[in-house]
Every structure is written in structure tokens, then in C-alpha cells.
Amino acid sequence: MLEKLANLRRHIEDFERQLVGIGHNHPPEALDPNLPRREEIERAKNDVSELEAEISKQEPDAKIAINRSRRLLDFGLKVSLWIGQRTTKFVDAALMTAAPIAVAAATDLLPALIDVAKNVTRFFVPL
């Protein structure tokens, strides 16, 4: 589980790196209002850290872990919606912007988010 969380962290950080500079003159926030905001990305990274800490405890709190996992899925849903909206724009723009790199990073991020959520649920809610 810790390995899966580390993998998710790497994907979130890669996605975050790709977003730097999207928008005119590198504003603090991207011009696309549907793009996950910096604080949402930071919250996702914090959720990963909290999951790592909780899972490492002798007696982890299932409520906390499942809550963090759900928030990560909400983040993943926002990223998925952004990808869906960008797909049409990418085709229209013939992939001439820096945004396709961010979409590629987001696409890698989503399976890692789903993998962590699935495994957190299995860890805390035995079948």
C-alpha cells in the first residue's frame, strides 16, 4: 500500500510540474477555470501523506483513511472532467500548446488514484 501511495505522489507531482506555466505570462493560477487549482493539488498531496501516516500506524483509523481516499477520488474526478474538456480543445488547436503534456501527466495520474482508493477500501473494509 505504501508503494502505491508513493507511486500516486509521483504522479501528482508530475501533473503539478506540467501545469506550471499554463496560461498567459505564467500567472499564479491557470486561466482555465476547470483546471485543478494549486490548493487542490496540495490537498491531494497532503491526503497521500495522511494516508501513508495512517496506514503506517499500529492501529490505523479506517474513517480517516477512507475519507482521504474519497477526497483523492474527488480530485481524480475533477482531473478527469478537465481532461474531457481539453480533449476537444486539443483537437481544435491541433495540439499546439503546452497543455497536452499536462493531459498526459493527468492521464497517468488517474489510474494511480483509482488504485490507491481501491486498495485503501480493501485494506480497511475486508470482503
pLDDT of residue 31: 57
Give the model's pLDDT for residue 118.
81
pLDDT confidence of residue 119: 83
Residues sharing a CB contact under 8 Å with residue 45, sequence separation 6 or more, in sequence order: 9, 12, 13, 16
Please say whether the dihedral angle defined by the alpha carbons of residues 42, 86, 22 and 13, taken in this order, is positive or negative: positive
Contact predicate 41/15, CB 8 Å: yes
Q: In terms of Cα–Cα distance, which of 48, 43, 16 is closest to 30?
A: 16
Q: What is the pLDDT of residue 95?
A: 45
Residue 51 host element (H or E): helix 38-56
Report yes or no: 106 and 83 within 8 Å, Cβ to Cβ: yes
Using one digit for the tens of pLDDT, what is the confidence trace for 41-53?
A: 999 999 999 999 9
Residue ranges in the chain whose pLDDT is less than 50: 29-30, 94-96
